[in-house]
A = this chain, B = another copy of it.
């Protein structure tokens, strides 16, 4: 058996996504090999994260300031708002070269879990969408909850006469067609585009 202080750290590592007992053990033993200074820095970075990170007053993105870098960037198109469920989705979408701004819902509507529109950042989105906004892109997850949320937002935003679009569904690039599940294939078929 490992000493208690190692067992405790192994438990901490096991709380990270996809980390099992064996991996957590390797991480803890690696920590043991590090200099005291390096471990102190690690611990400090952990604490700093929780202390310094806040949510952007405008879009709900994670930031160290009052407003996130994207909302503060005047070179971006503030008339296009892309709606995502989680802040981490922004970092994925940024790789596409998208130059509009975002709105982080911080969840999705789920009647089953009792999560209603007012419980996530939908009111703040509706406040943001005025005559200056040209398009709202719905980029919620292609899951039951994400679809429900997109449907709900689509309905009320259209009532406000805002142009609403939705990320395309279909076959993921680089995969084989026969690996795609039925629902994806149905979506790919429905969303098929004409060859010109």
Chain A interface residues toward B at CB < 8 A = 1-6, 8-9, 12, 15-18, 23, 25-32, 34, 36, 38-50, 52-53, 62-64, 69, 87-88, 91, 94
CB-CB under 8 A for A53 and B5, given A29-B88, A46-B43? yes
> How far does the Cβ of A94 sit from chain B's closest Cβ, in whole Å?
8
Q: Is the CB of B52 within 8 A of A5?
A: yes
Q: Is the interface of A mostly helix, strand, loop or mixed?
A: helix
> How far does the Cβ of A72 sit from chain B's closest Cβ, in whole Å?
12
**Top 3 A-B pairs ranked by shortest CB distance?**
A43-B43, A3-B64, A5-B52
Q: Is the CB of A53 within 8 A of B3?
A: yes
What are 17 A-B contacts defined by CB distance under 8 Å? Answer: A1-B94, A2-B62, A3-B52, A3-B64, A5-B64, A9-B45, A12-B45, A15-B34, A16-B26, A16-B30, A29-B87, A31-B46, A31-B49, A32-B49, A39-B46, A43-B44, A43-B47
> How far does the Cβ of A91 sit from chain B's closest Cβ, in whole Å?
7
Q: Is the CB of B43 within 8 A of A91?
A: no
Identical subunits present? 2
Cα separation A16 to B30 with both chains bound (whole Å): 7
> How far does the Cβ of A6 sit from chain B's closest Cβ, in whole Å?
6
Q: Is the CB of A42 within 8 A of B31?
A: no
> How far does the Cβ of A185 sit from chain B's closest Cβ, in whole Å?
27
> How far does the Cβ of A12 sit from chain B's closest Cβ, in whole Å?
4
Q: Is the CB of B17 within 8 A of A62?
A: no
Give the residue of B28, B47, B88 whose beta carbon is less than 8 angstroms from that of A39: B47
